[in-house]
Structure 1
Amino acid sequence: MSILSDIRLIRRPLAGFAAIGICWGVFAGCVPAIKAQVGLTDGGLGTAMLVSTCGAILAMWLAPWAEERLKALAIPLFTGLLGLGFLMPGIAGSWGQFAAAMLFCAAAAGTVDVAMNAQLSQLEARSGRPLMNLAHGGYSLIYACAALAAGIARGGGLPLWSIFLGATCLTLVAAVVARGGEVVLPEETTEQTGRAPLPWGIVALAGVVICIGFMAEQATEAWSALHLERNLGAGAVGGALAPTLLGLTMGAGRLSGQGLIRRLNGAGVLGAGAGLAALGSVTAALAPTAVVGWIGFAVLGFGVSVLAPMAYAWLGARLTPQARARAISRATVIGYTGFFMGPPMMGGLSEVFGLRASFGAVALLLLLVPLVLLPMMLRR
């Protein structure tokens, strides 16, 4: 089966990945402008993102309930809500407005994320194809393009609201695309869904690996442009190039994993990826020039690219079809804690110690994967 056949097979969840990539890519490319428009300090931005975490985690916990009732409509409906909500950060004029906007967007994105990963895991298990890396790689490439486009638009003098309006339009197109493609519903299984006890040991292990990967990814997405512009003298386009390179190397790493995952030792790749990401984070933290900073973020992206998709695949391979959707949901809740805790952590550390120290802390977190979590996974 070719990669084009795989894309057709996962068209529905892939549209959800594309929508989230568009939104977070545009956000990453516009963080310095948002801070200026709303008048946020580093700590204020971090606190606003912490507020959004609460909505995201609650939404993800309830996502299986919503998916069970909405069935095939879940991904397109919540993708559409994400697109409509994404108008708000671009017009926010105060901390409260920005925090409320991010709360809504994070809740919608979290629900989409649970639904699309659960659907993808079911399709991967049924087809026997390594689809996780393909979908996550597609997200990264779309994110990179969106971040670069946002930086170019901002450098060209376009108002912030117009950039976010463009992202909304593209996200609504993705919502329409998500209505097509193959869907595997829980009702298609032969046993009652979601009633057997979950194997919380492996769910928690996978969730923590995903959490660290997402924390490193989102912390870099939200703060790398600011680091380049504030500390290394890059302009709007140069700042946006940092999350762009992150997305490009993440996409390259994940798409490479699409073909290599069957021939390589998965545990070794996971440990090496985390170590490489830690090296990239330290390089970016200590960078004396923008060029070295770009190199550091590119290395970080390539290393961190394997963490989430391989943890999802490791978990999905150890579950029955009846438990898979609920277990993926719970692991995603744990993982997304990192996705939304990354920016607040960076904001708090930056407020006290500076952005360079914040990226050093990201490196320490990444080293927990090969030193602590991977040995525990191997024992399972």
Structure 2
Amino acid sequence: MSADPTTADLSPKSALRWKIAIFAIFLTSGLSIATWASRVPAIKDALGIDNTQVGALLMAAGVASILGLSLSSPVLARFGARRGMLVMMLTFAAGTALVGVGTDVVGSYPVVLAGLVLFGFGNGCLDVMMNVEATAIEQLGGKTILPLFHAFFSFGTVIGAGVGAGAVGLGLNVFAHTAAIGVLIVVIAIAAIANVPMRASVDPDPAEHGAGWRQRLALSLSAWREPRTYALGVVMLGMAFAEGAANDWLALGIVEGHGGTEALGAVGLTVFSVAMTAVRAFGGPLVDRFGRVAMLRVLALSAAAGLTLFILAPNLPLVLVGAALWGVGASLGFPLGMSAAADDPAKAAARVSAAATIGYVAFLAGPPILGVISDRIGLLNTLFVIVALTIASGFASGAARPLTPTGR
């Protein structure tokens, strides 16, 4: 790799190292999120807090994530992907470790809250940057691989959950667990960033460095004035609702709505997760063959049909079939929306940031909203809201038709 390589200068070996580095970054993000999620019960017990206070921690992390998403575009325009991703990975590594410090070392709820703010902001900001990098790799190779990057995020959550379960089984306290993961994130960050080009195709052009900060900020926010951003937002909103609702309500829907056991509820969530991850891992060639728009419409149909079957199924085997179709349908909406937002490298960061913000607001805010509605009309009936949103996602899928890149 040359002293100042760009994507146009990369050798095949350097391009492969870049791809592996971004795979590792996606996996690390998933690992960090599952690490925190796996220790929530232990944190609650150690601090002696109630569910309302746990909810406040979740809200703080969610708000910080959305703030990170919103600021990612100007950060990327100012510092570039390489430095930006390194700083954000170090930020959420510190936040992960700080959660453990607040839990077991000082026993302080505010310290845990501060850790989750760092954790959420770093992950949110990184999310846009790593997706922009992944789409640049996709464009360089000419094949759809963004879903595979998202599959690595899912692999990271599986690994993080498994490590969390092992830590609990071994009797490790939260500090020992999160400190170890924090150090691991730092090591992965340094190793991965070393293989990211100094200036990728989505980084600011050196010729533009003379532009004022306000001018670059205005450019980074320009995507919010484009109708296509909102259409892609509808695509991602529907699928983000479908994914987020499954994570929070699918198992409970089997137990309370269909009279299944808690174990069967866990099985249903596993069926959904496996189906979604499998399509993300192997769906890229199908997108290349049939096109983004056709795939998104088929997947929206699958999600709507799976949800409807899940709601109305007369027996538990059909409920699990519905969960599988639901997982297949929810699998590619988010990554393909990201890929479509980044079609034009000159405006990729701004458009990905805007579309991702819409999607993540839905992912974070959707499940609590559904909870409020379900108290009035029942959980299974509430899921018809998701059916409607996935149908809307299918109708909006035409916005994902590839763009012709413009010059800088």
TM-score (norm 1): 0.78
The aligned runs of 1:166-245 (5 Å cut-off) are: 167-183=181-197, 184=200, 186-188=203-205, 195=219, 198=223, 200-224=226-250, 232-234=260-262, 244-245=270-271
1:17, 1:116 within 8 Å by CA — same for their partners in 2? yes
Equivalent-residue separation in structure 1 for 2:402 and 2:14 (angstroms): 36
* Pair 1:104 & 2:118 matched: yes
Report how far residue 26 of structure 1 moved: 3.9
The aligned runs of 1:303-322 (5 Å cut-off) are: 303-317=329-343, 319=344, 321-322=345-346
Equivalent-residue separation in structure 2 for 1:22 and 1:359 (angstroms): 29
* Pair 1:59 & 2:38 matched: no
Equivalent-residue separation in structure 1 for 2:138 and 2:293 (angstroms): 19
Report how far residue 18 of structure 1 moved: 1.0
Per the alignment, residue 348 of structure 2 pairs with 324
Per the alignment, residue 79 of structure 1 pairs with 89
**Corresponding residue to 2:396 among 366, 373, 380:** 373
Equivalent-residue separation in structure 2 for 1:145 and 1:290 (angstroms): 29
Deviations 1:251-293 (A, max 9, x none): 2101222222211142221122123223444555568998776
Deviations 1:274-333 (A, max 9, x none): 23223444555568998776655443322211101222223333x2x3222222222222
Equivalent-residue separation in structure 1 for 2:165 and 2:117 (angstroms): 24
Partner SS, residue 393 of structure 2: helix
The aligned runs of 1:39-188 (5 Å cut-off) are: 40-41=50-51, 48-71=57-80, 72-87=82-97, 101-151=115-165, 154=168, 164-165=178-179, 167-183=181-197, 184=200, 186-188=203-205
After superposition, the Cα gap between the structure-2 partners of 1:359 and 1:322, relative to the gap in structure 1 and judged at 3 Å, is same
Equivalent-residue separation in structure 1 for 2:291 and 2:56 (angstroms): 40
- How many equivalent pairs are there? 372
Partner SS, residue 351 of structure 2: helix
Equivalent-residue separation in structure 2 for 1:151 and 1:291 (angstroms): 28
Q: Greater shift after overlay, 267-276 or 147-156?
A: 147-156
Partner SS, residue 142 of structure 1: helix
Identity among equivalent positions (%) equals 24
Greater RCO between the two (CA within 8 Å, min separation 6)?
A: 1
Equivalent-residue separation in structure 1 for 2:348 and 2:397 (angstroms): 22
Specify the code of the residue in structure 2 equivalent to 1:59.
Answer: G
Partner SS, residue 61 of structure 1: helix
Specify the code of the residue in structure 2 equivalent to 1:9.
Answer: W
Equivalent-residue separation in structure 1 for 2:287 and 2:380 (angstroms): 34
2:85, 2:130 within 8 Å by CA — same for their partners in 1? yes
Partner SS, residue 196 of structure 2: coil
2:276, 2:327 within 8 Å by CA — same for their partners in 1? yes
Equivalent-residue separation in structure 2 for 1:33 and 1:281 (angstroms): 33
Report how far residue 54 of structure 1 moved: 2.7
Equivalent-residue separation in structure 1 for 2:311 and 2:41 (angstroms): 18
TM-score (norm 2): 0.73
After superposition, the Cα gap between the structure-2 partners of 1:67 and 1:191, relative to the gap in structure 1 and judged at 3 Å, is closer
2:27, 2:155 within 8 Å by CA — same for their partners in 1? no
Partner SS, residue 66 of structure 1: helix
* Structure whose CA Rg is larger: 2
